[in-house]
Structure formats: C-alpha cells, structure tokens
Amino acid sequence: MGYFRNLFFVIVIFCSALSFAQTDAAAEQPSLDGGTINSQFDYLYQKSGNYRADGKRYEVVRTLNLDKLRQNVIDTINVANKKATQLQGVISTQESTIASLNEKLSETTTNLASVTDEKDSMSLLGAQVSKATYNVILWTVILGLLLLLFLFIFKFRQSNVLTQEAKSNLADLESEYEDHRRRALEREQRISRQLQDEINKYRKSK
C-alpha cells in the first residue's frame, strides 16, 4: 500500500515538474532553455531535419540539442526525485504522528473504559462491585435494619404493656397488702384490748 502511494506521489511530482515552467502551454515558445519537456521535444522535432531512405523516414537531430534535452530530462527527474524524497520524509513524519496519535487514542480509550468501569462501580469494603450489586446490598441492609427497628418497636411496646400490667398488679398487690396489714393491725389491737380487758377483770376479781 505504501509503495503504490509513494509511486503515485512521484508520478504527480514528475508531471508537475514537466508543466512547471509555463502555466499556459499553448502560448509558450518551444525551446531547450525552458518550458516543459513536451515543448522541448516539439522544438527538437522542429529543428531536426529529415530524409527518406529505403522507403523509411529518418529524423536528423543535432547531437548538441539531443545532449541538452537529455540533460534537461535528467534535471527534471532529479528535481522530481528530490521532491519525492521530501514528500517521503513528510509521509514518514505523518505516519509517525499518526502512530503516536493512534497510541494516544488507544491509551485514552483504555482510560475512558477504566473511568467508565469506575463510574459504573462502587467501592464496598475495599472491593469494587457494580452499581446494581451495590444497590442490592444497600437496600438489603436498609430493609434488614428497618425490619430490626420494627421488631424492636414491637418488642418495646410488648414489654411496655407487660411492664404496665406488672406495675398495675404490683399496685393492686400493695393495696391488698396494705388492707391486709391494716386489718391485721386492727385485729391485733382488738385482741390486745380484749386481753387488757381480761387482765383488768382478773385484777378486779381479786
């Protein structure tokens, strides 16, 4: 692929070099000192003589003009090769730049994927878990705590009811105890009075 691309650039440069001397080919005058290679060939044909021998047409070209044309072609090819070399350097630089950009793009893509994974995950006890798993664990914990809270409230209310009942029973028991103690005290006092009366009667009887 690179070979064909380089060949394409060489052909473009060569063609550009051929038509570089004059912008208007129709208006240029054929000469070996300037113009395109095509116009120089036209000039050579114009300046050459011809003759026929054995039924064939021959062109007679001056050696000086032929050498001049050959040198012009060589110079044109050298210029084209120089520009092709320069373009090859530019292509190499661009390929290096593209490779560097591709490497940075790959690194950026990797970093983006890592950031996306971190964005889609949460840290739980030092471990990375997905957001879905994290949400499931979080809501499970919340529901468990709510269940424990409801159970605690239920137990508290039940315990409070039992406490109130115990307090009520204790109050009733204390009231019964006070009544029993009061009756026992009254009975004891009555018995004491009766005993004292009997003692007094006994003393009087003497």
The per-residue pLDDT for range 70-123, each reduced to its tens digit, is 888 888 889 889 999 999 999 999 999 999 999 999 999 988 887 777 766 666
| Buried-state track 89-116, b at ≥16 Cβ within 10 A, e below 16 | eeeeeeeeeeeeeeeeeeeeeeeeeeee
Contact 60, 49 (CB under 8 A): yes
pLDDT at 152: 92
Which among 88, 95, 92, 93 is positioned nearest to 9, based on CA atoms?
A: 88
Stretch 51-80: mean pLDDT: 79
Stretch 2-11: mean pLDDT: 51
Contact 28, 40 (CB under 8 A): no
Contact 18, 76 (CB under 8 A): yes
pLDDT at 104: 93
pLDDT at 192: 87
d(CA 60, CA 160): 133
Please identify which residue in the block is written with the tokens 């204390």: 174
pLDDT at 25: 43
What's the pLDDT tens digit per position in 134-177? 788 888 999 999 999 999 999 998 888 888 888 888 888 888 88
Domain boundaries, the chain: 2-119
Beta strand residue intervals within the chain, DSSP E: 49-53, 56-60, 121-124, 127-130
